[in-house]
Structure 1
């Protein structure tokens, strides 16, 4: 028989069981690890707290203590991960009232963020200095990610069969499970399954590169173990040598999206190209670009109106 929790049981035990019952096997491992890290913090902050003692004040104190060590967005994520379990405990009558209502999210002042993307000139500088030989290499990987905006695991899973050179597209329908020794895995979400339009140069380059490779085998993940750091280190060396901002492979994805937005491509189109589940994700991620474009729009509106007189 499954254990029936009582109001006098500890919050940490309820949360551990809740993760096991509702999250394990239902979410991606990377997301599950975040819930488990939240559990570690609950064990650290309130190791002996009972369910029946989780009041609004106590819950706010937990959030406040967590916020002392984390930025506001991280604190918000912690709150949402804990809130799901707490509300279920309320529904089960283990906690008398919703203690998460009107919670105030605090957090450390964010550290100054390094630029995570390149501008168009910097990207051009990088791509023209890649060593693109006649065989597949990580330099070709960098080019493909920069031209498509694919996630690292998506680009690793690309096979020759994914290219439709006649229609200038590449299909994204899987990822490569590089963190657990390899093998194909599902995409991040349903929206991540997509076709990405590619330019004629990429078509010509990759048509030659992959023509003699096995159609259903990944063209980049040929080794048993692939590390994100391998490509990041190569990219860092290029950036330092070329005296451009140092970015990661994921930064190439940001670069791709930013350049499209600056070029006037709609948020909806960028969201589909990146495989975002909704435009809201795109808007949040590229808020800095959108705000800058809105400022440019205001200037354009003012100039247009002034010309009417």
Structure 2
């Protein structure tokens, strides 16, 4: 028998309890923070909405109100985070029908986004503008991400011990909690634990740079361990402007690395392994536009090859 008091519970209270029971300790801190933010928006937008009053109309109004201040993709994420809790409420008999069914996702017009990646000439031009002195600085991190395609958090967690100069490899087996209080964290997924092959030039540069550093200490982290993504992005932006190339983010360097490999003819499987993607499907979805462009080139090549036959 469903308790009537449960049906009359405020929705944001039910949602917070649901997150605590089903998500706390089961997801990464950064994902948990997103659920907490969703709860704060519920308190702001529907402070008096009760579980029993959730209908397609009230839910659509909630999404519409959220969409007035957010882009469509962000609204979609908000919808997905709410949907899990709401479907459980339906299963528990607290709501008669699924109010999320046929929900319409709206959102503000997206801001003009930075280019996702640079071409080979633009990347080369950018790298020549880096200040690569004899001491470790953020420009060295920019160079290393461009050369390896690592995630920002993975690069921050690198220690001298992770470099194997004899075999020209770099071991990725941890990340740095730059969004929290600092310190090492596990990688994003099991596939993110990997070895990345380094070119000889990078090997020579870093073998000199990290000589004498403590083996288990992050080479890019100093002081209290607090690092802000925005700080490094601002440095990268200044270099892009000086080099006269499109402004990209640190994550854009990862996209650039993958794009150049794909255009060079490296297989999707190899690119997926190098990036630490959980599956090739992730790589295919992320770089679909490049893969389609390469397929068009393949068709032209096939046609030219066939035209000389017979």
TM-score of the aligned structures, taking structure 1 as reference length: 0.90
Alignment of 1:289 with 2:290, yes or no, is yes
Shift of 1:102: 3.4
Residue 114 of structure 2 corresponds to residue 107 of structure 1: no
Whether contact under 8 Å (2:129, 2:242) holds in the other structure is no
Q: Which residue of 2 aligns with 1:242?
A: 243
Residue 253 of structure 1 corresponds to which residue in structure 2? 254
CA distance in 1, matches of 2:278, 2:267: 16
Aligned to 1:92: 92
Instruction: Please tell me whether the aligned partners of residues 196 and 274 of structure 2 are also in contact (alpha carbons under 8 angstroms).
Output: yes
Give 1:280 shift: 3.0
Aligned to 1:212: 212
- Give 1:47 deviation, angstroms: 2.4
Return the offset for 1:293. 2.3
Asked if 1:265 corresponds to 2:266, the answer is yes
Offset of residue 301 of structure 1: 3.9
Structure 1 segments unaligned to the other structure (5+ residues):
none
Partners of 1:306 and 1:5 in 2: CA distance? 76
* Structure 2: distance between partners of 1:299 and 1:183: 51
Cα distance in structure 2, aligned partners of 1:304 and 1:78: 50
Taking the aligned partners of 2:212 and 2:8, their CA distance within structure 1 comes to 66
Partner of 2:163: 163
Counterpart Cα distance in 1 of 2:41 and 2:309: 61
**Equivalent residue pairs, number:** 307
Trace 1:24-39 onto structure 2 (pairs within 5 A). 24-39=24-39
In structure 1, C-alpha distance between the alignment counterparts of 2:4 and 2:158, rounded to whole Å: 47
**Corresponding position of 2:48:** 48
Q: Is the 8 A contact 2:30 2:179 kept in 1?
A: no
Tell me by how many angstroms 1:204 deviates. 1.5
C-alpha distance in 1, partners of 2:179/2:72? Answer: 28
Counterpart in 2 of 1:277?
A: 278
Unpaired segments ≥5 residues, structure 2 = none
* DSSP 3-state at the match of 2:196: strand
1:180 aligns with 2:183: no
- 8 Å contact kept, 1:5–1:14: no
C-alpha contact (below 8 Å) 2:149/2:257 kept by paired residues: yes
Secondary structure of the equivalent of 1:132? coil
Cα deviation for residue 229 of structure 1 reads: 2.9
Establish whether residue 123 from structure 1 lines up as the match of residue 115 from structure 2: no
Instruction: Pick closer, same or farther for the CA change 1:239–1:282 going to 2, 3 Å.
Output: same
2:202 maps to 202
* Per-residue CA distance 1:192-233 (angstroms, 9 max, x = gap): 111111111111211122221111111111232323233222
SS of 1:180's equivalent in the other structure is coil
Mark the CA change 1:70 to 1:304 in structure 2 (over 3 Å): closer, same or farther. Answer: farther
SS in 1 for 2:195: strand
